[in-house]
Amino acid sequence: MSKMITWHQYFILIGGLTLLYYAIILLLYYRREMETLFNRRPISTNLAEQNPANKVQLLLGEPEFDGQQTIGAEELFFAAPDEDEEPEQTAVPNATPAPNESFLLGPVADFLKELKSNFSLLKEAQGDKEEFLTLLGILSEKYSQVMQCAYRPLLEVFILELATEQLPFELTSADLQIQSIQQ
């Protein structure tokens, strides 16, 4: 017949078997870690025993610096520009207006978005300068507050740069000035 055991005896038996199981796993798989835990030697002495030359072994070898130097910021000098070279400058006006964020996010952003779409349409249709100026005139009438604001010189510079990148014809600032007079 089977012998009856209490719950207390059952939990003691299961706890003992669990401790025995983990002790075996620790001894089999984590022997080195257990030795260092119980020996209490500093880690540096263990590393010195493993590598007697006290030399750090790099995975990819020693780094080589072919003519490269590290210098401080005070030792860094730049060459003066050549006299025959002129620095590249864009005709950006000196006075930048104070930013009005609601104006920049509203009408100016809408104007620039429609302007870019007009550029892409004109590029696809292979339009000429007259068509571009007509489209710009329509856009200027629609956004008259943008074309009369303090940002106009900056917008003209942006239009000229975009035109040189995307359009097959030459657009000048005089063309944009004539367009503003015709309004």
14: pLDDT confidence band, cut at 50, 70 and 90?
Answer: very high
Q: d(Cα 146, Cα 183) in Å, to the nearest integer? A: 13
Q: What average pLDDT score do residues 147-174 get?
A: 80
Greater model confidence, 64 or 156: 156
Q: Say if residues 57 and 51 touch (Cβ distance below 8 Å).
A: yes
Greater model confidence, 7 or 115: 7
pLDDT tens-place string over residues 110-146: 888 888 888 888 888 887 888 888 888 888 888 777 7
Q: Say if residues 129 and 171 touch (Cβ distance below 8 Å).
A: yes
pLDDT at 182: 55
Greater model confidence, 43 or 58: 58
pLDDT of residue 27 exceeding 80, the answer is yes
Greater model confidence, 147 or 99: 147
pLDDT of residue 69 exceeding 50, the answer is yes
pLDDT at 95: 46
pLDDT of residue 90 exceeding 90, the answer is no
Q: What average pLDDT score do residues 61-70 get?
A: 74
DSSP H or E run through 132: helix 129-142
Rounded to a whole number of angstroms, the CA Rg of the chain reads 39
Q: Which residues contact 50 (CB under 8 A, 6 or more apart)?
A: none
Token match 């260092």: residue? Answer: 36
Structure tokens at 41: 């030697």
CA 124 vs. chain centroid, Å, equals: 32
pLDDT at 46: 54
pLDDT at 47: 53
pLDDT tens-place string over residues 71-86: 778 887 777 777 776 6
pLDDT at 15: 98
pLDDT of residue 183 exceeding 70, the answer is no
